[in-house]
Chains A and B, each alone.
Chain A
Amino acid sequence: MNNFLKLVWNEQIKLYAKKSTWIMIALIAAIVIGAGLLAKFMDSGIQTEEYGADWQSELQQENAALAKEMEEDEFAQFSNPFTIQKNEYYLENDIKPLPYDGWEYVLENAALTSLLSLFTIIIAAGIVSNEFKWGTIKLLLIRPISRSKILLSKYVSVLLFALMLLVSMLAASWLVGALLFGLNGASPMIVQETAAGFEQTSVLKEILLGYGFGMVTLVMMATFAFMISTIFRSSGMAIGLAIFLMFAGNTLVMFVSQYSWSKYILFANTNLQQYFNGNEPIIEGMSLAFSLTVLAIYFAIFLAAAWTAFTKRDIAGN
């Protein structure tokens, strides 16, 4: 086996020999199953029955009922217009609504990618610093292998871990969704609200985009945590800082968005959703190409900083 693959193999063994890794996997499985059961058996407003042959008049009746409800109930004034407009879109475009299915469940779970980011950050923050904590770094770095190669094998292992989490979550969501809600064929079309109004689109495309956007944040924040923990040789601060920035980053950008330099902040660029579905970028003058360039530069800086700290510094006092 190739030398580098063996290093990655070593890292994977260490990762999966630890209980905490399996707890993460179990948590994701529990959330996917639990959320599916809640949606199915609690009154969560999802529409599970199929419309009949005369679905047009069914929709019209539904809208009339919703409109009447709005006259009596204040709360309904907020929630009902969305459904009414969606129904009108179906009627105008002559699209028969499909019941909620497993594909839509998978799509909704794209929100869970922030949980994947959280777990990946924890792994990324520990993979180098734990070797210092355990003292094993001294045994690792006296092999006839360059420090760069060892660091790279660790970084690749973090990405492999994230990929494993992603694939497991997709598979679990699809399976749970299919079992609980069934599937509307192999690649159904769904109707979604965008900034430009309602739109019919392929569910597979939406899944790809939804999870893809999530992965951008995941990779950037995991790389950030990897860098911080490699520089400081401890995981606590890396985890704290990365998680704080992941959740507060957007708000921070909002605070300074009147300044033009704010568009160079990492968090102004991690949400690529701003360039899709008719959305406006959060700061004027930004484009997809701009954001991708900024992301690439940050990515390179993070890795270069981690590499410099890992290859150049003495291993002392451990």
Chain B
Amino acid sequence: MAEKAAMTLIGLKKTIGSKPIIKGLTFEIKRGEVFGFLGPNGAGKTTTIRMMVGLMDITEGDVLIEGKSIKDNFKEAVRHVGAIVENPEMYPFLSGWKNLQQYARMTEGVSQERIKEVVELVGLGNAIHEKAGRYSLGMRQRLGIAQALLHKPSILILDEPTNGLDPSGIREIRKYIRNLAEKENVAVIVSSHLLSEIELMCDRIGIIKKGELIAIEDVKTVEDHSALKDVHIEVHPLEMAKDYLQSEMDQTIAINKKELIVSAKREDIPQILKNLVNRGMDVYGVRILQSTLEDKFFDLIGENAIE
């Protein structure tokens, strides 16, 4: 991915009244990448997004979209962006289809076929001809995404797209977003205050707190097999298993309720289990803690106090 960045933030600042809300954000988002914008309530995610799309004036710094400044070249810059800012709000008295037509008329080259295509993509089906005022939150979220995709943007910005969705809805959105990034080479920015909801769809996660970017983390999509992981093994009898592993296999062991916690490499796990079973011990379950990102997030954020 040595491509030019799709979006670049350069020392972006926002002051409302005399209160600094965003205190200098600098980062890039590349084509084909899903960037998670993570922070607690009131951290400044929505404010940043409003500046990215030109809804709010930039106090200092700039946002470049495909190299064009949103400040000085609004039309050329915003042309490449599709977005939902906060809730996906629609004209309640128009059908979903007519809502989309409104936006189609505002950008050149969006055909009726394209509208059909995005409706298909977000899976709204026949509901598209019902009034948007009757849509459930999940349906509005889908219509919002359809609206953002109409003009084939190269950057898609979704402010809390998982807000109010049920688990299957979140899974579906995750699927579209991965698809868009991987197949259509779109740069996607998703904001959230819940790591667990976006962790699985993001390549990188930027963590924002009180208007400052405090970390950018790569989310490893390929597991690092040589790293030590905490493996929880539910085994009986516990003490016997612990003694055996400590003496014979030289493992560091802890006991937590009915589980042994073994720090081991992924490749060593089958051998450990085989040995336990061969010695007549009963193994009821094994689990590996997926991620340490969550812990890291909490370490970085501290307690979630809104100021």
Chain A residues near B (Cβ < 8 Å): 3, 6-7, 9-10, 13-14, 17-19, 134-136, 138-146, 314-316
Contact = CB atoms under 8 A, between A and B. Distances in A.
Given A14-B102, A134-B91, A144-B107, 7 more contacts: A6-B105, A17-B98, A135-B86, A138-B85, A143-B78, A144-B74, A144-B79
B42 to A, nearest CB: 13
B290 to A, nearest CB: 36
Given A144-B75, A315-B56, A14 B89 contact: no
Interface in B9-28: 16
Contact of A17 (B47, B81, B94): B94
A143 B93 contact: no
Interface in B82-119: 83, 85-87, 89-94, 98, 102-103, 105-108
Contacts of A14: 91, 94, 102
A139 B53 CA distance: 10
Contact of B55 (A10, A18, A142, A144): A142
A316 B105 contact: no
Nearest to B14: A314
Contacts of A9: 105
B182 interface: no
A140 B89 CA distance: 11
Contact of A134 (B55, B89, B103): B89
A143 B107 contact: yes
B206 interface: no
B161 to A, nearest CB: 15
A135 B75 contact: no
A10 B89 CA distance: 17
B197 interface: no
6 contacts: A13-B98, A17-B94, A138-B85, A139-B89, A142-B81, A142-B85
A138 B55 contact: yes
A152 to B, nearest CB: 14
B147 A139 contact: yes
Task: Give the 5 A-B residue pairs with the shortest CB-CB distance, closest first.
Answer: A135-B89, A315-B55, A143-B106, A144-B75, A144-B79
Contacts of B16: 316
B81 to A, nearest CB: 7
B53 A136 contact: no
Contacts of B92: 134
Contacts of B74: 144, 146
B218 interface: no
A140 B106 CA distance: 9
Q: Residue among A139, A140, A143, A314 with the most chain B CB within 10 A?
A: A139
Contacts of A135: 86-87, 89
A315 B93 contact: no
Interface in B228-246: none
A135 B132 CA distance: 13
A312 to B, nearest CB: 8
Nearest to B87: A135
Interface in B53-87: 53-57, 74-76, 78-79, 81, 83, 85-87
Contacts of A3: 108
A156 to B, nearest CB: 15
A127 to B, nearest CB: 13
Nearest to A1: B105
B50 A136 contact: no
Interface in B111-133: none
Given A134-B91, A145-B75, A316-B50, A7 B106 contact: yes
Contacts of A17: 91, 93-94, 98
Contact of A138 (B79, B89, B102, B107): B89
Given A10-B105, A143-B107, A136 B54 contact: no
A316 B106 CA distance: 22
Contacts of B56: 314-316
Nearest to B56: A314
Q: Residue among A17, A135, A141, A142 with the most chain B CB within 10 A?
A: A142
Contact of B83 (A142, A145, A146): A142
A10 B53 CA distance: 22
A10 B91 contact: no
Contacts of A316: 16, 47, 50, 55-56
B93 A18 contact: yes
